[in-house]
Structure 1
Amino acid sequence: MRFGGIVLATALALGACSSSDPAPIEPQRSATTPTPTATAPPMPDQARQDSPEGAAAFVKHYVDVFNYAAATGDVEELTRLSAPTCEGCQSYISLYRDTYAAGGYFKGADWTIGDLRLQEERSVTYATTLVKADPGPYRESSKEPEQVSSGKDNQVSFALQRSATAWQVTQIGLGAVQ
């Protein structure tokens, strides 16, 4: 599940060609396999700016990349935008990578963010927002049955730090909606 644990094992099914097949047949892609043309959302220019507006645009972009990683299992861009020390970020990265490696998937339940409240403290910018997630089907691995996530709303805070050239998420905090 989206807010759940890590997947245990990887399973692959291979088909064999019979002697009547003159050439190998490419396996059909399932809904759980990212298409080769799928790419992470491009970062908007505003999300590169060292300003409050740039920080807000970066958070919106981060959530777009987060949703892309959940839908495809491609965590490369999410990893680049997340600090290695961000435990929440690394948990999601591992969850998505391991789920897809095990033949699992996430469908729907994308995060949709509301208005952002920004607060700057020393070298950290905090962006807090209401995140809505609709219920969506998921499968932890090819060996597990499909389930449906609860799809609840959470208040989420992102801690951002800026290097000389880019923003990065250093912490994600989830809180219940009051």
Structure 2
Amino acid sequence: MPAKAGRHDVEGGNAFIRAWVDQLNYAAATGDTSGLRRLSLETCKSCMRAASRFEKTYGDGGSVAGADWNLGTLDVFSASHMQGPVTTRRHEELDRSGETTQVFPASGFEVVFDLKWVDDQWLMERVVVVS
């Protein structure tokens, strides 16, 4: 986690969101969701859904290929509320034999990130795709 992400200000919130996206990408690439879960409140439904999906895919012997979120410049509404563009390239879910089970086309969308400051650290409270 970058040191800036520990600051309770706009710069800290921005750095935290980028660190959270790094953990989302790491979970997609490896199936290890511990970092994603550690940085997310249990009440963040989309966070928990993503973690559970990766755990199921990898737990069943499958994998995910190429599912990186590329986060653009964030619009800042407050230290805890930001929105920005995300692009993804084409990616696939594979079963244990390496066969493709689902294909996701390359896409671009806007995402709203809501953070909560808890015990001197940011946690992801809500992630919503808005377009």
TM-score range, shorter chain: over 0.9
- What residue in structure 2 maps to residue 156 of structure 1? 111
Report if the CA contact (8 A) 2:29-2:65 is conserved.
yes
Give distance in 2, aligned partners of 1:144 and 1:175: 33
Identity of aligned residues (%): 32
Report if the CA contact (8 A) 1:109-1:151 is conserved.
no
1:103 and 2:57 are equivalent in the alignment: no
- Consecutive unaligned residues in structure 2, runs of 5 or more: none
Higher helix share: 2
Higher strand share: 2
What is the correspondence of 1:1-178 to structure 2 with a 5 Å cutoff?
Answer: 43-120=1-78, 125-139=80-94, 141-142=95-96, 145-146=99-100, 147-176=102-131
- What residue in structure 2 maps to residue 3 of structure 1? none
Report if the CA contact (8 A) 1:159-1:169 is conserved.
yes
Report if the CA contact (8 A) 1:134-1:151 is conserved.
yes
Give the alignment's TM-score, normalised by structure 1.
0.69
Report if the CA contact (8 A) 2:87-2:108 is conserved.
yes
Deviations along 1:66-120, one digit per CA (max 9) or x if unpaired, are 1000000000110010100011101001001110001111111300001011213
Cα deviation for residue 144 of structure 1 reads 7.8
- Consecutive unaligned residues in structure 1, runs of 5 or more: 1-42
What RMSD in Å do the two structures reach over aligned CA positions? 1.5
Deviations along 1:107-145, one digit per CA (max 9) or x if unpaired, are 11300001011213xxx7211000000002321x32683
Give distance in 1, aligned partners of 2:80 and 2:114: 6
Give the alignment's TM-score, normalised by structure 2.
0.93
Cα deviation for residue 164 of structure 1 reads 3.3
Give distance in 1, aligned partners of 2:105 and 2:70: 15
Secondary structure in structure 1 of the residue aligned to 2:87: strand
